[in-house]
Chain A
Amino acid sequence: GQNIDQPTEMTATEGAIVQINCTYQTSGFNGLFWYQQHAGEAPTFLSYNVLDGLEEKGRFSSFLSRSKGYSYLLLKELQMKDSASYLCAVMGPEAAGGSYIPTFGRGTSLIVHP
C-alpha cells in the first residue's frame, strides 16, 4: 500500500507564499495529485505530477521528486479564499481489475489570515 504524510495544519498571511509538503512511500508510482477542499465541499483538482520537476499553474505550483518520495504545493499571493484543506493523493501500482486507486493523505488545513 501507500503511506502519505502531510502537516495537519498551517497558517499564513494574506499576500504571502506558503509551501505545503507531502512525503510518501509506495511500492509503485503512477502520479501524484493535489486537491483543494473547502469545508463542506467536494475536493477540486489542482495539479497532477508524474515526472520530476515543477509544474506551474497561475498562483499554484506543484513539485515532485520521485527519488525522494516528496512533493510540495506552492501557493503564491495568498488570498482569504485559499483557506481550505489541501489533499495530497498518490496513485500507486496497478491494482485488481486494472484499476489505479489513489491513496489520499489526511489533508493540510490552511488558514489564511489578514
Chain B
Amino acid sequence: GAGVSQTPSNKVTEKGKYVELRCDPISGHTALYWYRQSLGQGPEFLIYFQGTGAADDSGLPNDRFFAVRPEGSVSTLKIQRTERGDSAVYLCASSPTVRETQYFGPGTRLLVL
C-alpha cells in the first residue's frame, strides 16, 4: 500500500515568509508525528497527533510553528515569519497507534534565504 507522502519535496522561501508543509499518513494510522532534521543530526520531535488533536506539542520551538490535523488524516505544519534557522528537512511519520513502529515520509527540504 501507499506509504507516507509529503509535499512539497523541496521549498525555498525568503526570510519572513509563511510556509505550509503537508503530510499524508498511511491510511488507518491514527498517530502522526512531525520531526525536524538538520544535517548530521537525528530527527528532532516537534509535535504528535492522536486522531485530530495535538496530543503533545512540546517539541515546537516557538509560537511561529503550528500544526493541524482537522480530519484525523492529513496534517499541515505551518511556519510563520520564517527564519534562516528554520532551514532543515521536515519529516512526517505515522504509526497504527501510539507506541508502535513509526513509518516516515520522504520529508520536505525547507530552505529559508
**A interface with B by C-beta (< 8 Å):** 4, 30-31, 33, 35, 41-45, 48, 87, 89, 91, 95-107
Contact = CB atoms under 8 A, between A and B. Distances in A.
Of A95, A96, A101, most buried by chain B (CB within 10 Å of CB) is A101
Nearest to A104: B42
Of B42, B56, B106, B107, most buried by chain A (CB within 10 Å of CB) is B42
Contacts of A98: 50, 55, 98
Interface residues of B, number: 27
Given A4-B42, A87-B43, A99-B56, 13 more contacts: A33-B101, A42-B107, A43-B43, A48-B101, A87-B42, A91-B99, A96-B55, A98-B55, A99-B55, A100-B99, A101-B56, A102-B102, A106-B42
Nearest to A103: B45
Interface in B49-101: 50, 53-56, 58-59, 91, 98-99, 101
Contact of A42 (B41, B101, B106): B106
Nearest to A47: B101
Given A104-B44, A105-B42, A107-B42, A99 B50 contact: yes
A106 B99 contact: no
A43 B98 CA distance: 18
A40 B89 CA distance: 9
B42 A89 contact: yes
B56 A42 contact: no
Given A101-B45, A104-B42, A43 B104 contact: yes
Given A42-B105, A105-B42, A107-B42, A95 B58 contact: yes
B25 to A, nearest CB: 13
A114 B4 CA distance: 34
Given A31-B99, A87-B42, A104-B42, A97 B56 contact: yes
